[in-house]
Amino acid sequence: MNRRKLLTLGAVALIASQWGTPVFAQQGVFKIASLNPITGAGSPYGTGMLKGAQMAVAEVNAAGGAGGAKIDMASEDSQTNPQAAVLAAKKLIEVQKVRAIIGTWSSGVSLAVIPITNDANVLLMHTSGAPALSVAPANAKKLGFRFQATNDRFGRAFAEIAKREKFKRPATMAFNNASGIGNTEGFRKSWTASGGTVVANVVYEPNRPSYRSELQEVLRGKPDVIVTGSYLADTTIILREWYQSGQPARWIIPGWAANGDLLKALGPDVTEGIISVESISAEDSPAYKSFADRFAKEAKMAAQDNVYAAMTYDEVIVLALAVQAVGPTAAADVLAKKVHEIGTPGGTVVNSFAEGKKLLAAGKRVTYHGASSALNFDEFNDVTPDFAASFVEKGKLVRKYVVKL
Amino acid sequence: MTFADFLNLALNGLVEGLLIALPALAVTLVHGLARFPNAATGDVVAAGGFGGYFTFNVTGSLLLAGLGGALVGALVSLAAYYLAFKAIMRRSVITLLLTSIGVGFFIRSVLGMSFGHELKMFSLPLTRAINFHGVLINPTDVQLAGVIVAVLAAVFVMLYVAPVGRMMRALADDPDLGRVSGIRKERVMVVMWSVTGAVCGIAGTVLGMRTTLAPEMGWTMLLPAFAAAVIGGLGNPVGAVAGAILLGVVQELSTPYVGFVYKIALGYVVMLLVLLVRPQGLFNRPQGVR
Amino acid sequence: MVSYLATILIIMVIYILLAFSLDLQYGFTGLINFGLVGFFGVGAYTSALVTMNLGLPAWLSFPAAMLVAGLLSWPLGRIALRLRDDYLAIVTLGFSEIIRLVIVKEDWLTHGVQGISGIPRLWPNWSSSASELFLLCALITAAALTTLVMRRITQSPYGRTIQAIRDDEVAVIALGKDPSIFKTQVLVIGGAIAGLAGAFYAHYITYIVPDQFVPITTFYIWMAIIMGGVARLLGSISGAVLLVFLLEGTRFLRGYIPGVTDAGMASFQLGVIGVLLILFMRWRPQGLFGKRSAT
């Protein structure tokens, strides 16, 4: 019978394709996986994120592994799609038996995957913004770690910067998704809490050919600064149309949108004075410098164009340090507690895996300051980084100061 | 909101409507002769946009970029006709429609694999708008509108003055009678697919200049183009353009009342209402819609 | 391994339900519904909101999802009756987009773009793998019941009437029956089935957001019923199975196709789907299991 043959053949093929992967845990190997947005909305960042993680794995293994075990990292494409990501996560956990999944980017993906990782006692390290990822039920077991500042924190950083620059009449423009709105809501809450008013709030839909009407509404309030929760494509269109409108205003834009590509596309006239905000490590962090150099050489990409690559790098390093401290066979909650400890102040500060491994082997407590931020996990395992305000001057981003929340 | 604000919104709507007018015209022309809504229209727009982008990078001339986009669009459209549509031209609407979805997917996949998903942008000098008592008129927009109007005019001249255009309209009105009077359908088809492809290509280049280039850029134009063509009446070129402009203006003017999310839905609601009242579209004669 | 296969099966059966819905409407009655994902989404949201806001046990939310999705199909039926195939396709596509935009905008109810997270599993007190297997069993039961219902509908005088409407509506009118009643009923029943699929989906993925309910899902299901064969229950089932193999299978091909980067795989997958659609429509429009006449 045709159908039966087809189904059997298919099932056999599916199972056979797994035969190449060892199903039993091997001595001396610690398995993890990177689940990145190689395709889909996050695709501008996914490949870079994977490369950053792979660099970290190579660094750890070159230094002799963690706790006597090599890191073995599988990788899957989340397609920035919760459904595909759930299937990928299941495969990684069930078939490849990974102990940790790193590198998820979109909130939809992380929110869909975290119940699965929680159930399997697998750690999840992500760079998503949704507030729901900090608390129960999503993070009831505290196995989830957020390596990107929450949208709320970004918003507060925006407010600090706006205050510092003495703006009085801010307006907000948000991309209509959880992250964009999270940023501007964070700003609004913080700004109005200190007594200020926001003159206009606009939320715009994705993929429109023009945002002139949306801009019109924002500009009608005659703001002196416009704070955005936006992405590269829409920011390009909005800034273009704003410039053409001729109405003066300053801009505060998240670093993932106001990056080198934006400046190149729009040119120095349009972009002069834009304030780009991103979460950072301490000034001149050696971890970041070392990472950026290696990233440029090996991945042939510029670290500052993909803020998430440094985050996935840190995800692997801090995980490896924890494995070094408690051993590769430690239970998930022990591992998670150690990750938390290494990401919080109190130990000797280290900037690389090798440094940390030496100290841990000598029984000392370490605190890892990473390439993306100095971590500083809060009680929810969210990083609390500092933020850098960089100003565009003559077509180039120049870092002016750091904001500590 | 002042009168100037409303006028600005209307102007925005006009520009957006003109942007949609080209693909809407393409949809309606294809429907007139081939009798199906072409879901690959958006992806031909995207292909043309990429063509225009690369031509611009090589030559630095906007005019050549437009021509490059038109050429790429025409070629892709012809290829789709010969490779996919021609053999099944006599089949049902749904067969052709599903095939066109497949063609669209294929074009999008080739664009994605060849050019990747990183955003590409035209680096063009930007101009400031002229401010007439609060009404903003942007010279670049005027230029682009001029280009679109010129293209539309050229197509209409072809349709209503040139012999091949008359043949096209005759075949669209009554294929059997057209064949009997000696019109060679094949030649007219080739002209139609080339012209609609070129129109899409120019639309893609213009869209690329105003926004950013990505393999998916055409898909977001597809439903508005369909809605405009449907409102005007499928097969009716004047209807498609009028429908597009109407849709654009109504959407933008509705913004203060329905907000930025629902203004998009409004387009589809208008389409539903128009079809409830006049199932053949605004500009078509009542004929065989059921 | 078991859990991974169970997850694949869950998705497969959800697609089978959606394929049934579409096949009933198009395969058997000739209604070109391109708005399928809208009713899928309505079912998912209704089920999630009933479970979470009203605190009712999950299994009660399923009939609610079917009811709301079915009811929402009714106005589509009224609009659809006067429209020709091509107009209907576009209108139904627009309808599903309107539904998605309403879900986005009415965030007081639906949480808008933040999505609804933490949708409880079908039997929250059980372990997750047990819950998952339970969902799968419930899903298979629902699918089996739906198959029986579909069989009864399509192999009855009712079924002959709707197929007659597909083939020659004028003749049906001449026989004194009103096609519009049948068409509306078919849309409502199909809508309810899609709503049921949505309810299962919400409780399986536990986090829903409007972005998950976009037209490409509708196109995938169209592909499934075309490949499997329209107007055949076996066609819907095999088409859905094939679709899942296509979508999940490309994951295993990563690295094996020369010239395609990892980032290009999604585009490659889309291209494969596009080419398959073109080839099927040209050379095997009846699909794998369909009858020759249903073109």
Q: What is the 3-state secondary structure (H, E, C) of A370-388?
A: CCCCCCCCCCCCECCCEEE
Whether chain B has a CB inside 8 Å of the CB on A204: the answer is yes
Nearest to B91 among C26, C95, C295 (CB): C295
Q: Do A237 and B15 touch (CB under 8 A)?
A: no
Contact A143, A121 (CB under 8 A): yes
User: How confident is the model over C74-116, as pLDDT tens digits?
Assistant: 988 888 777 888 888 999 999 999 999 999 999 999 999 888 9
Q: Is residue B265 domain-resident?
A: yes
Look at residue A25 in the predicted model and tell me its pLDDT.
Answer: 43
CATH superfamily of A25-148+285-368: Response regulator (3.40.50.2300)
Q: CA nearest B103 in C: which residue?
A: C274
Beta-carbon contacts of A305 under 8 Å, excluding residues fewer than 6 positions away, are A48, A259, A260, A261
Per CB-CB distance under 8 Å, the chain A contacts of C107 are none
Helix, strand, or coil (residue A202): strand
Q: Say how many Å lie between the first and final Cα of chain B, rounded.
A: 44
Q: Residue A19 above 50 pLDDT?
A: no
Per residue in C265-277, pLDDT (tens digit) is 778 888 999 999 9
Q: Is position C221 within any domain?
A: no
What is the percent of chain A where pLDDT is above 90? 57
pLDDT at B144: 87
Average pLDDT of the residues in A196-208: 93
Q: Count CB-CB contacts under 10 A for residue A399.
A: 13
- Which chain C residues are closer than 8 Å to A14 by Cβ? 5, 8, 245, 249, 252
Residue C223 to chain B, least CA–CA distance (Å): 8
Residue A282: its pLDDT value, please? Answer: 60
Domain assignment present for residue C276? The answer is no
Residue type, A247: Q
Count of domains observed in chain C = 1
How is residue C169 written in tokens?
């509506």
C-alpha to C-alpha distance for A83 and C17, rounded to whole angstroms: 17
Exposure of B284 by Cβ count < 10 A (0-12 exposed, 13-18 middle, 19+ buried)? middle
Cross-strand partners of A32: A73, A100
Task: List CB contacts (< 8 A) between C266 and chain B.
Answer: 112
Least confident of A10-19, A170-179, B28-37, C204-213: A10-19
Q: Do B126 and A212 touch (CB under 8 A)?
A: no
Tell if the CB–CB gap between B119 and A44 is shorter than 8 Å: yes
C284 within a domain of the structure (yes/no): no
Residue B125 domain flag: no
Q: Which tens digit of pLDDT belongs to each residue from A278-301?
A: 888 665 688 888 898 899 998 888
Which of B5, B121, B130, B247 to mutate to probe the A interface, most A CBs <10 Å?
B121
Give residue A191's Cα distance to chain centre: 25
pLDDT at residue A15 in the model: 53
Smallest Cα distance from C247 to chain A, Å: 9
Contact criterion met (CB below 8 Å) for A292 and A303: yes
Q: Does residue B127 belong to any structural domain of this protein?
A: no
Confirm if A92 and A76 have CB atoms less than 8 A apart.
yes
Q: Which B positions 149-208 lie with beta carbon below 8 A of chain C?
A: none
Question: In CATH, what number is assigned to the domain containing residue B247?
Answer: 1.10.3470
Q: Does B264 touch chain C (CB under 8 A)?
A: yes
State the smallest CA–CA distance between residue C278 and chain A in angstroms.
Answer: 22
**Quick check: is C266 in a domain?**
no
Structural domain contains residue C106: yes
Distance of residue C109 Cα from the nearest chain B Cα, in angstroms: 16
Establish if B117 touches chain C: CB-CB under 8 angstroms: yes
- How far is CA C208 from each of CA A37, A39, A91, B54, C119, rounded to the nearest angstrom? 18, 20, 21, 40, 8
Out of A209, A213, A244, the one facing B129 most closely (by C-beta) is A244
* Residues C234, A47: C-beta atoms closer than 8 Å: no
Q: Does B15 lie at the interface with A, CB-CB under 8 angstroms?
A: yes
What are the domain boundaries of chain A? 25-148+285-368, 151-282+386-403
Which of C94, C104, C278 shows the shortest C-beta gap to B261? Answer: C104
**pLDDT exceeding 90 applies to what percent of chain C?**
51
Asked whether the beta carbons of residue C83 and residue B92 sit closer than 8 angstroms, the reply is no
Within 235-274 of B, beta carbons closer than 8 Å to A belong to 252, 255, 260-261, 264
User: How confident is the model over C131-182, as pLDDT tens digits?
Assistant: 888 889 999 999 999 999 999 998 999 988 988 988 888 888 888 888 888 8
* Residue C250 pLDDT level (bands cut at 50, 70, 90): confident
Write the CB contacts of B62 (distance below 8 Å, at least 6 apart in sequence). Answer: B56, B124, B209
Best CA proximity match to C206, nearest among C44, C13, C12, C3: C44
Measured between beta carbons, the chain C residues lying within 8 angstroms of A46 are 263
- Residues with Cβ < 8 Å from A58, sequence gap 6 or more? none
Angle of CA points B99, B102, B106, to nearest 5°: 140
Residue A95 is inside which H or E element, if any?
none
Domain count, chain B: 1
Chain A nearest CA to C266, separation (Å)? 6
Q: CB B109 to CB C268 under 8 A?
A: yes
List chain B pLDDT tens, one digit each, 290 residues. 788 889 999 999 999 999 999 999 999 999 999 989 999 999 999 999 999 999 999 998 888 999 999 999 999 999 999 999 999 988 888 899 999 999 999 999 999 889 877 778 887 778 888 888 888 888 888 888 999 999 999 999 999 999 888 888 888 888 888 888 888 888 899 999 999 999 999 999 999 988 889 888 888 889 999 999 999 988 889 999 999 999 999 999 999 999 899 999 999 999 988 888 887 888 887 755 44
What is the ipTM score, two decimals? 0.89
> Over the range A110-142, which residues count as b (16 or more CB within 10 Å of their CB) and which as e?
bbbbbbbbbbbebbbbbbbbbbbbbeeebbebb
In a domain, B32, yes or no: yes
User: Which residues are CB-neighbours of B63 under 8 A, at least 6 positions away?
Assistant: none
Tell me how far apart the alpha carbons of residues B159 and B171 are, in angstroms, rounded to a whole number. Answer: 12
Reply yes or no on whether the pLDDT at A21 is more than 70.
no
pLDDT score for A23: 37
> For residue B205, is it within any domain?
yes
Closest chain B residue to the Cα of C98, Cα to Cα: B265
Q: What is the 3 state secondary structure string of chain C?
A: CHHHHHHHHHHHHHHHHHHHHHHHHHHHCCCCCCCHHHHHHHHHHHHHHHHHHCCCCHHHHHHHHHHHHHHHHHHHHHHHCCCCHHHHHHHHHHHHHHHHHHHHHCHHHHCHHHCEECCCCCCCCCCHHHHHHHHHHHHHHHHHHHHHHHHHHHCCHHHHHHHHHHHCHHHHHHCCCCHHHHHHHHHHHHHHHHHHHHHHHHHHHCEECHHHCCHHHHHHHHHHHHHHCCCCHHHHHHHHHHHHHHHHHHHHHCCCCCCCCCCCHHHHHHHHHHHHHHHHHHHCCCCCCCCCCCC
What is the mean predicted confidence (pLDDT) over A157-165? 95
Cβ neighbours of C254 in A, within 8 Å: 77
pLDDT at A3: 62
CA-wise closest residue to C185 among C14, C28, C15, C16: C28
User: Taking the domain A151-282+386-403, which CATH number applies?
Assistant: 3.40.50.2300
In chain C, which residues touch B (CB < 8 A)?
Answer: 26, 32, 79, 82-87, 89-91, 93-95, 97-98, 101-102, 104-105, 219, 222, 226, 260, 263-264, 266-278, 281-282, 285, 295
Q: How far is A39 from chain B (nearest CA, A)?
A: 8
Domain range for B194 is 3-117+132-277
State chain A's mean pLDDT as an integer. Answer: 88
CA distance C45 to chain B (A): 19
Chain B residues within an 8 Å CB radius of A236? 119, 121, 211-212
In a domain, B122, yes or no: no
Report how far residue C2's alpha carbon sits from residue A120's, in angstroms, rounded to the nearest whole number. Answer: 13
Q: Check whether A14 has a pLDDT greater than 70.
A: no
Instruction: Count how many Cα atoms sit within 13 Å of the Cα of residue A53 in the half-sphere of its side chain.
Output: 29
Look at residue B123 in the predicted model and tell me its pLDDT: 79
Which residues make beta-bridge pairs with A388? Answer: A278, A402
To the nearest whole Å, the CA of B61 is away from the closest chain C CA by: 31
Spell out the residues 6+ positions from residue C154 whose beta carbon is closer than 8 angstroms to its own: C24, C28, C162, C163, C231, C233
**In this structure, is residue C248 part of a structural domain?**
no
> Chain A: nearest CA to C71, how far in angstroms?
27
Tell me if the bond preceding A137 is cis, omega within 30° of 0: yes
Chain B's closest residue to C85, CA to CA, is B93
User: Mean pLDDT, chain C, as a whole number?
Assistant: 89
Q: What is the pLDDT of residue C292?
A: 59
Question: Which residues from chain A sit within 8 angstroms of residue B211, using beta carbons?
Answer: 209-210, 233, 236-237
pTM for this predicted structure: 0.90
Nearest CA-CA partner of A388 in A303, A253, A278: A278
Q: Residue C115: what are its φ and ψ, rounded to 5°?
A: 80, 170
- Would the CB atoms of B289 and C271 count as touching at under 8 Å? no
- Show which subunits contact B, needing at least 3 CB pairs below 8 angstroms: A, C
Distance (Å, whole) CA A322 – CA A319 = 5
- Closest chain B residue to C31, measured at CA: B94
Mean pLDDT of C220-229: 93
The domain containing residue C84 runs over which residues?
2-214
